[in-house]
Structure 1
Amino acid sequence: MTGPTVPRATEAEPAAGWAPTPALGRAVLLAGLLLVAGVLLGRVDLIVLAAPFALGTAYALRRRPTALPQVWITQGDGGPLVEGGDVTAAVTVGNPDTVDYDLVVMRSRVSPWLRIDRAGFARDEAVDGAEPSAPATGATGNGGGRSVADRPFVTSVPIDAAVDLELAGKALRWGRHPIGPAGARVATAGGLLVSRAVITEPVRVRVYPRTEPFEAVEAMPRAAGLVGAHHSRRPGEGGELAGVRVFAPGDRLRRIDWRVSLRARQLHVAATLSDRDAEVVVLLDVLAEAGRSGGVNGAASVLDTTVRATAAIAEHYLHRGDRVSLLEYGPAARRLRPAAGRRQYLTVLEWLLDVRVHASAHEPYDQVFGPQLLSSDALVVVLTPLLDERSAQMLARLARGGRFVVAVDTLPTDLASPKDRGWAEVAYRLWRLDREIMIGQLREHGVPVVRWAGAGSLDQVLRDVARLATAPRVGGR
């Protein structure tokens, strides 16, 4: 299977892609003026002086270009890219023509979340064995703090060869970040002809969120299956000892506790608790954003904390064999179906790359939590900044519906207060007070609210939820 070919331009096409430079106009004008003056004035010296300009121009234009340069962008093969990892890419200019490109000026746009620290040219050998030309001009280092890709690069490309502008740096934030569009302009025929700008489409680099350390060691409140890693309170085959009881028909002989049986002179067996899997639903509140993202080592916005915490929670529970599903609380109402395993974790990471804040004036509850879309036994972990009253109402409705809900506060702790004195500062304090009251009301409704803090963030609250799940419920008539 051969790759796509780029058609060569015909002899009648150069005017559409190539244009004369001012140097060609000056050469023709100067030669013409000297020739006319020499003929009119009868001076041979003026004609001799015009000869080099005329002959040089004719010699440079003896072979005209027939094809435009080819430009494409390739991403480095370094495996999955995570925040803080090394990113590599190359912007390549190819010469499919029958003449050398004397001068190639390249420039490429790069996402500000991809900090390019090193850039330089690496030349591919010519396909037909042509000799490589002189070294190209590149750049290394990042002394000014800006990406070194934000500047033009100059090189030359021989016949049937390609030159790579290699870019290397760091990925500062999760998401799909573009490298490009990239463009190139070529001068040939001794600088007398220049091509139009050839621009290629950008290539988007996938940067996965860095997984923050998280490990919840408490039991799940309720599980839906009989296979898993969580110790439930239901008797069954498992590894957690629940006690010793009298032997009953159906008990396995390997469960007999002979020490207790000999002492009691009656057969006793060791009772265990079943190991069950659970369904974890991670709900992402995307109605509002706050804070300013500073990248992987800087300040975290609400969206940064939400995405990184979701990746950590999903990795933890999927590693334990549970099923994980994702939901967006917003007008888009995106969802990821529950599944388990390594494949589901990779799907979660891909799904998180498209998380965006969607402000909406409508209530998205019904379209997010339709009938039979949320299991009654699932643990719902809601990542929310609690900046919208609808988010609090959603949490209260889930709790009143008998769901096991845990709210994780994703609002940045270092959120700056207004610098203006007067009513702006007073309004900020009133908003803070109103938010604390709202959190207190949620806790009165049975919704625990905790702040995300990495490892062990949800241990205490899961312990409380598991205790509530085993408490007797009062049913109405």
Structure 2
Amino acid sequence: MTTPIRPAVPPVHRDRPAPEPDVPAPDWAPTRALGRAVLLTGVLLVGAVLLGRVDLVVLAAPLAVGTAYSLRRRPARLPAVSVAAEDGVLVEGGPVRASVAVGNPGDVDYDLALLRVGGSPWLRFDRVGFATGAAEPPLELADRPFLATVSAGTEIDLDLAGRTRRWGRHRIGPAGARVAACDGLLVSRPVGGAASAVRVYPATEPFEAVEAMPRAAGLVGGHRSRRPGEGGELAGVRVFAPGDRLRRIDWRVSLRARQLHVAATLSDRDAEVVLLLDVLNEAGRSGGVDGSASVLDTTVRAAAAIAEHYLHRGDRVSMLEYGLAARRLRPATGRRQYLTVLEWLLDVEPDSAAHEISDQAFGPHLLSSDALVVVFTPLLDDRSAEMLARLARSGRFVIAIDTLPEAGPPDRRDPWAAVAQRLWRLDRENTLGQLREHGVPVVTWAGSGSLDLVLRDVARLATAPRVGR
């Protein structure tokens, strides 16, 4: 039995009409005013012929002459719309400026230009207006259109000035415009301008950690290590050995012991700090830089502050996301790494993956054994607690920062709301207790000095003697 060959082109049904190609809209279309003028002129002329009345011709003459005079020069080119944002570093709560330009490339004046501008709700513009007109009161860009006249061969700018309200990648635009010409008898089709993207960096809260790192493993840096070497921390006095520098000789001890002794120091080394962001859950409502902070707001701002602090001290900082994407930023030092960290934080988004995260994409083998791992997590998912316990069991120095905002009072209208909230708090306290048993301290982010006590305890555990089997 042979298999029928299927035609490569589907058959065309004769009873079904073929789809018509899309016809582009005309650049300029007549308005209702032109239709009314032509209709009224025709009615008056027809009435004058049928009724034999000259006065109707006299009434129709001004309409016909005025319409012909307005249409003597028709525009041939559409308006040009563009959106431009001011270059520079934008920070939460800082100023932002932009402009929307409407140009008339033709030789016919535009009687009226109607402009609409979209934009991100996290950009609040306090002053909006054309350069040749009065400014508007504070408003959202999408609330109402803006009107202006544009002469032939000129361009008019709509100036936007305001402030940023939240970190992230935002856009100003797109913008759309329609213009009317020939005394309002012709109107153009809508012309759009592409949106302009702006990057708003998070506002870093002041952070300072005065305690030493638990383990410094680099060659040079600003932290005291446990290894002897050239540094500023005194480790003791020992007998002079070949290769010691003469300026290290302690003459008081040498004269008393009648043998040369030198002051031994500990080497100053750098450390690696891994900032791990838990993006499995987003909770709370973000109110911008002046309002309440959500989980992601606290996570991004705290991570930027800690990264700035340790990079300023010469340490190596790397970033890692705990989510389905598992984005990672390699460890590096310097100002360039700080700018890279800020760019990396702009793309942080909630990633509520329902399945287990593979250990191949994220696991302790990806982290250095000497690194200090700072985890930003709301602890709303059991997988987050398991990840923290797994890191602690692998021998890493782990610190968890609780980014969950404070819960409000329960609804008094619901008699079971208080009971449910109490049960939730008990379950959360149980999770925190289990993490402390695994050696994972959990602290709440409070700006400067949030990690001093925790780093002190972790440093003591790192220097404590370990019992071997």
Deviation sequence 1:248-305 (CA, Å, 0-9, x none): 2221111112232223322111111111011100000001111111111211111100
Deviation sequence 1:44-76 (CA, Å, 0-9, x none): 221122111111111111111111111111001
Determine if the alignment matches structure 1 residue 54 to structure 2 residue 64: yes
Aligned partner of residue 429 in structure 2, secondary structure: helix
Q: Which residue of 2 is the match for residue 389 of structure 1?
A: 382
Q: How many residues align?
A: 447
> What displacement does 1:191 show?
0.3
For 1:287 and 1:416, the matched residues in 2 are separated by 25
1:287-366 aligned within 5 A: 287-364=280-357, 366=359
Match of 1:121 among 130, 136, 142: 130
Gaps of 5+ in 1: 1-12, 123-134
Q: Which residue of 2 is the match for residue 400 of structure 1?
A: 393
1:119-158 aligned within 5 A: 119-122=128-131, 135-136=132-133, 139-142=135-138, 146-147=139-140, 150-158=143-151
For 2:238 and 2:443, the matched residues in 1 are separated by 40
Determine if the alignment matches structure 1 residue 369 to structure 2 residue 362: yes
For 1:227 and 1:31, the matched residues in 2 are separated by 91
Output the amino acid matched with 2:435. Answer: L
Deviation sequence 1:77-113 (CA, Å, 0-9, x none): 3x20000000111111111112111100111112111
Match of 1:110 among 119, 139, 151: 119
For 1:371 and 1:358, the matched residues in 2 are separated by 21
State TM-score, norm by structure 2.
0.92
Aligned partner of residue 359 in structure 2, secondary structure: helix
TM-aligned CA distance change 1:414 to 1:178, over 3 Å: same
For 1:243 and 1:152, the matched residues in 2 are separated by 76
For 1:291 and 1:358, the matched residues in 2 are separated by 15
Mean Cα displacement is larger for which, 89-98 or 255-264?
Answer: 255-264
Determine if the alignment matches structure 1 residue 37 to structure 2 residue 26: no
- Contact kept? 1:329, 1:368, Cα under 8 Å: no
For 1:364 and 1:452, the matched residues in 2 are separated by 26
Determine if the alignment matches structure 1 residue 425 to structure 2 residue 425: no
> What displacement does 1:308 show?
0.1
Deviation sequence 1:108-127 (CA, Å, 0-9, x none): 112111111110112xxxxx
Match of 1:215 among 199, 208, 212: 208
> What displacement does 1:474 show?
3.1
1:222-237 aligned within 5 A: 222-237=215-230
1:66-81 aligned within 5 A: 66-77=76-87, 79-81=88-90
Determine if the alignment matches structure 1 residue 85 to structure 2 residue 94: yes
For 2:453 and 2:402, the matched residues in 1 are separated by 15
For 1:431 and 1:471, the matched residues in 2 are separated by 37
Deviation sequence 1:359-409 (CA, Å, 0-9, x none): 111122514434742111111000001111110110000000001100011
Mean Cα displacement is larger for which, 27-36 or 366-375?
Answer: 366-375
For 2:198 and 2:347, the matched residues in 1 are separated by 13
What is the root-mean-square deviation of aligned Cα atoms in Å? Answer: 1.7
Aligned partner of residue 281 in structure 2, secondary structure: coil
Match of 2:30 among 9, 15, 20: 20
For 1:149 and 1:114, the matched residues in 2 are separated by 12
Deviation sequence 1:205-264 (CA, Å, 0-9, x none): 110000011011111111221111111122111111222222122211111122322233
- Contact kept? 2:25, 2:189, Cα under 8 Å: no
For 2:456 and 2:358, the matched residues in 1 are separated by 28
For 1:385 and 1:425, the matched residues in 2 are separated by 21
Q: Which residue of 2 is the match for residue 280 of structure 1?
A: 273
- Contact kept? 1:14, 1:66, Cα under 8 Å: no
- Contact kept? 1:14, 1:67, Cα under 8 Å: no
- Contact kept? 1:178, 1:202, Cα under 8 Å: yes
For 1:368 and 1:284, the matched residues in 2 are separated by 14
For 1:279 and 1:472, the matched residues in 2 are separated by 22
State TM-score, norm by structure 1.
0.90
> What displacement does 1:473 show?
2.5
Q: Which residue of 2 is the match for residue 6 of structure 1?
A: none
TM-aligned CA distance change 1:336 to 1:178, over 3 Å: same
Match of 1:263 among 256, 262, 266: 256
For 1:249 and 1:119, the matched residues in 2 are separated by 76
Aligned partner of residue 232 in structure 1, secondary structure: strand
- Contact kept? 1:108, 1:150, Cα under 8 Å: no
> What displacement does 1:436 show?
0.7
- Contact kept? 2:118, 2:141, Cα under 8 Å: no
Output the amino acid matched with 1:99. Answer: V
Q: Which residue of 1 is the match for residue 103 of structure 2?
A: 94
Output the amino acid matched with 2:123. Answer: L
Output the amino acid matched with 2:394. Answer: G
Output the amino acid matched with 2:118. Answer: R
TM-aligned CA distance change 1:297 to 1:282, over 3 Å: same
Mean Cα displacement is larger for which, 378-387 or 58-67?
Answer: 58-67
Q: Which residue of 1 is the match for residue 431 of structure 2?
A: 438
Deviation sequence 1:145-200 (CA, Å, 0-9, x none): x4366221100111121111111111000011121121111000110000111122
> What displacement does 1:422 show?
2.5
**Among the aligned pairs, what percent are the same residue?**
75
For 1:331 and 1:279, the matched residues in 2 are separated by 24
Gaps of 5+ in 2: 1-22
Aligned partner of residue 366 in structure 1, secondary structure: coil
Output the amino acid matched with 2:114. Answer: V
> What displacement does 1:468 show?
0.9
